[in-house]
């Protein structure tokens, strides 16, 4: 590509028009149709048009993928490689993905409706960085020599679990998938990935590129399909670990499936209803207001960490809401292929209807401050205006349930204790934020918040891989990102050698 090319809306539209999408499954190093020939339509939320026919994998396909993964694991073609070689293979793959970054970005935008400005700056580079980060860790993390009696040597080592299945959602299709497959592959496992039926295309393409980069057949398989396909993996007797990101309701079913089958290890990254608390001594109300807007409107609110409950102290409420509404106005639904667009499409009609029905319930139980309607209907796509409600009752549905759309509930409090009580009164515990100028208050409030991530005077910072990511309570168990994520794809082994 000529480096002087201007990547404007025309560039991306032309790119989109020239894509040749191969949406077959990738099993044992081959692109294949589902064994029974079944496919489903992959519809672009941008304009409602069909992008591709995707292989709809059933039992025969899952069995083939799992046995290819098992075979490659047992043969040691990946797990048995010198760690440096495994690292080199993953870095080669990451470099190839970088060469294909535009293609992957446009594919993600078409498939999930995300603005191209986001897929080019967050989703695709973030997934590549994740692969590189875990690749770099491969030859750095060793085991332990444990203190033990003199006649013994005690080794504590980590070994790959074996066959890891990953079942992932659609809000950051490739990024969420990479948080699973990158550490799982780095640890030496073989992987079977089931992307969401709403956004399967980048996962398939990335697996094709893994093969091109020299990853051995069977090590990384992609099996598109619906929930039933994910359930087959959750019930499979030869899957050793299932790493899931998605809704709390499905997470519970997956745990049950593990209990009904082989007690596979289950790691769950689930939903959230995260509180964002603004205290009266907030150091910068303008920044807090624009942060509160991006916490809920970035990625159309399709964020597990969305700051969907904004808790504002009564003393600053009026002035804060004024600033918030001004910030919200900068999120306007537009053509996702236009680099100037800040808000794209909702992923599909099911999610569109779900969000609109929550807005309807909000109209009954709260006061609408802005938005509340569908937008750009003429495009054929699925767009919703940024929407803010003033909610007096924290028990209102919109203030308790995860909406996963651009809908913000503003709640009012009079004391720090009340704010913490409201914040923690949730089945979820994924993330939280507090805005204050007082260092002691910042530490005390963050300690009392029951959440896996707490931001102080910011929201959604920390794109680095170094921080573990995951939830308390029904937001899940286990952590993605960081070396803690690497651990969860290994078994811990104690080896005791008697010297005499």
Interacting residues toward ligand NAD by CB under 6 A: 167-171, 176, 194, 196-197, 226-227, 230-231, 234, 245-247, 250, 253-254, 269-272, 304, 402, 404, 430, 471, 475-476
Q: Are 494 and 155 in contact (CB under 8 A)?
A: yes
Which position's Cβ is nearest ligand NAD? 230
Question: Would you say how long the chain is, in residues?
Answer: 500
Token pair recorded at residue 123: 């989703």
Q: Which of 108, 132, 269, 385 is labelled catalytic?
A: 269
Phi, psi torsion values for 19, nearest 5 degrees: -65, 135
Measured from the CB atom, the residue of 230 and 362 that comes closer to ligand NAD is 230
- Min dist CB 470 to ligand NAD, Å, is 6
- Beta-carbon count within 10 A of 236 CB: 22
* Active site (annotated) includes residue 269: yes
Measured from the CB atom, the residue of 199 and 291 that comes closer to ligand NAD is 199
- Min dist CB 75 to ligand NAD, Å, is 28
Measured from the CB atom, the residue of 15 and 267 that comes closer to ligand NAD is 267
Measured from the CB atom, the residue of 182 and 289 that comes closer to ligand NAD is 182
Question: Containing H/E element for 498?
Answer: strand 490-498
Phi, psi torsion values for 203, nearest 5 degrees: -60, -45
Alpha helices in 213-341 (DSSP H): 227-235, 248-260, 285-297, 317-328
Alpha helices in 47-167 (DSSP H): 59-75, 83-99, 101-112, 116-118, 124-137
- Min dist CB 60 to ligand NAD, Å, is 18
Measured from the CB atom, the residue of 158 and 479 that comes closer to ligand NAD is 479
Rg (alpha carbons) of the chain, rounded to whole number: 23
Q: What is the dihedral of CA 413, 418, 424, 425, to 10 degrees?
A: -80
- Min dist CB 497 to ligand NAD, Å, is 41
- Min dist CB 401 to ligand NAD, Å, is 10
Q: How many helices (H) and strands (E) does the chain have?
A: 17, 24
Query: Which residues does the annotation mark as catalytic?
Result: 269
């Amino acid at each position: 590509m000529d480096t002087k090319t201007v990547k404007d809306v025309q560039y991306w539209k032309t790119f989109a028009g020239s894509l040749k999408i191969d949406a077959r499954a990738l099993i044992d190093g081959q692109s294949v149709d589902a064994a029974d020939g079944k496919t489903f339509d992959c519809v672009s939320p941008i304009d409602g048009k069909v992008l591709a026919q995707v292989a709809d994998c059933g039992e025969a396909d899952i069995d083939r993928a799992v046995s290819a993964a098992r075979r490659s694991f047992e043969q040691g073609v990946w797990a048995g490689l010198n760690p440096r070689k495994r690292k080199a293979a993953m870095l080669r793959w990451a470099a190839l993905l970088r060469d294909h970054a535009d293609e992957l970005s446009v594919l993600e935008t078409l498939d999930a409706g995300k603005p191209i400005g986001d897929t080019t700056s967050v989703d695709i580079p973030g997934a590549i960085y994740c692969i590189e980060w875990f690749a770099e860790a491969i030859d750095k993390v060793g085991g332990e020599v444990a203190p033990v009696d003199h006649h013994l040597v005690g080794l504590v080592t980590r070994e790959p679990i074996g066959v890891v299945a990953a079942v992932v959602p659609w809000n950051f299709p490739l990024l969420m998938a990479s948080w699973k497959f990158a550490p799982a592959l780095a640890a030496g496992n073989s992987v079977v990935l089931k992307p969401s039926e709403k956004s399967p295309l980048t996962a398939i393409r990335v697996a094709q590129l893994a093969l091109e980069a020299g990853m051995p057949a069977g090590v990384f398989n992609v099996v598109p399909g619906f929930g039933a396909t994910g359930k087959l993996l959750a019930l499979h007797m030869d899957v050793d670990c299932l790493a899931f990101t998605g809704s709390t309701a499905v997470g519970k079913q997956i745990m049950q499936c593990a209990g009904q089958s082989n007690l596979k290890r289950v790691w769950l990254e689930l939903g959230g209803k995260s509180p964002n608390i603004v205290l009266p001594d907030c150091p910068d109300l303008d920044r807090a207001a624009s942060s509160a807007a991006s916490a809920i409107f970035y990625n159309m609110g399709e964020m597990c960490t969305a700051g969907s409950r904004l808790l504002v102290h009564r003393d600053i409420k009026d002035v804060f809401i004024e600033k918030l509404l001004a910030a919200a106005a900068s999120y306007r639904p537009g053509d996702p292929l236009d680099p100037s667009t800040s808000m794209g499409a909702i992923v599909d009609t099911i999610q569109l209807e779900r969000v609109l029905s929550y807005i309807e319930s909000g109209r009954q139980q709260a006061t609408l401050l802005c938005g509340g309607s569908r937008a750009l209907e003429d495009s054929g796509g699925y767009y919703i205006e940024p929407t803010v409600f003033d909610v007096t009752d924290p028990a209102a549905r919109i203030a308790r349930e995860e909406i996963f759309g651009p809908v913000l509930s503003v709640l009012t409090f009079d004391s720090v204790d009340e704010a913490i009580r409201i914040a923690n009164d949730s089945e979820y515990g994924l993330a939280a934020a507090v805005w204050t100028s007082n260092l002691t208050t910042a530490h005390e409030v963050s300690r009392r918040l029951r959440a896996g991530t707490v931001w102080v005077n910011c929201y959604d910072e920390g794109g680095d891989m170094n921080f573990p990511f995951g939830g308390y309570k029904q937001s899940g168990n286990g952590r993605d990102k960081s070396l803690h994520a690497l651990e969860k794809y290994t078994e811990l082994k104690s080896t005791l050698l008697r010297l005499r």
